Amino acid sequence: MTQRLTIRRPDDWHLHLRDGAMLRAVLPETARHFGRAIIMPNLVPPVVTAADARAYRDRILQALPEAADFTPLMTLYLTEETDPADVAAAHASGLIHAVKLYPAGATTNSASGVRDFDKVRAVLEKMAEIGLTLCVHGEVTDPEIDIFDREAVFIDRVLDPIRRQTPELRVVLEHVTTRDGIAYIGETEKNLAGTITTHHLVINRNHILVGGIRPHYYCLPVAKRESHRLALRAAATSGDPRYFLGTDSAPHLDPLKESACGCAGCFTATNTMSVLAEVFEQDGALDRLEAFTSLHGARYYGLPASDATITLTRGDPVPYPARIDTADGPVTVFDPGFPLHWQVGA
């Protein structure tokens, strides 16, 4: 059995860092193992313009631990008022690497998202022209659609029409949670990829609901049936370059998770690489872990893979903390429910 594995330093292609005290607390958890990350723009207020992105990037860099080697890859939050010229200028300067589409009301801090997709047509056409990626939160918000069906319906109602109307637009369907999403990506020859989270490879909806409501497993898109989880694992471990890691690590203070209306999100930044190594080992695919975490995403975004490496060593279970502390309160670390034998940097 492999006891030691060295891979190129991984990237996280979907990450929430928040701001202020939360940013300062959670950023070191990502920067410890990851070299780059696509930074989500759903702050309050959101990161809408190039000036917003530049200011947010500066705050991230100021919060980095001394000597940390980490590059935030900035994004803009797509609204119905987004200026195509501002997007193009931000991309040309190297400031942004994607634009994020949130259907209005789909998830945390998405109230400023898109309701009328015709109003963002000019932005999408400009993005297709300049080769800028659209990152998509793939859920409809129609209250008549069951929450477990919202990804599949989004693909039919929104994503497929967008891609047919703008076939050269590069798209990432983020945090895929269904076999429908996996099948849709698998049928596509170009300009579409999907990120898969750490937690969706581990949990299904039973983990949230059986034996009591477990708020630290509640996320959006919500975890689905076991058959969907298995489809995600098969895709992640397949070696197919259309799938790569986007943790969607999403920290919330414990009182906001453990409440009558708990926030959606799993905080996985601290132990993601150990969890993934365990998952890939369980599925006999340790030799494909590097591709999923370190190669496929960089290739899709047109960036070089990292020259740096990390080493994972297998041994006794790793004692990760149950939570991390911020100046505003604790944040619970994702518990996969099984021992983690792979330690980074040992």
User: Active-site residues: which are they?
Assistant: 248
- Burial of 188: CB neighbours in 10 Å, binned 0-12, 13-18, 19+: middle
SS3 of the chain: the string is: CCCEEEEECCEEEEECCCCHHHHHHHHHHHHCCCCEEEECCCCCCCCCCHHHHHHHHHHHHHHCCCCCCCEEEEEEECCCCCCHHHHHHHHHCCCEEEEEECECCCCCCCCCCECCHHHHHHHHHHHHHHCCEEEECCCCCCCCCCHHHHHHHHHHHHHHHHHHHCCCCCEEECCCCCHHHHHHHHCCCCCEEEEECCHHHCCCHHHHHCCCCCHHHCCCCCCCCHHHHHHHHHHHCCCCCCEEECCCECCCCHHHHCCCCCCCCCCCCCCHHHHHHHHHHHCCCHHHHHHHHHHHHHHHCCCCCCCCEEEEEECCCCCCCCEEEECCEEEECCCCCCCCCEEECC
> At which residue do the structure tokens 């607390």 appear?
25
- Burial of 289: CB neighbours in 10 Å, binned 0-12, 13-18, 19+: buried
How many Cβ atoms sit within 10 Å of the Cβ of residue 329?
A: 15
Nearest Cα neighbor of 259 from 205, 213, 292 is 213
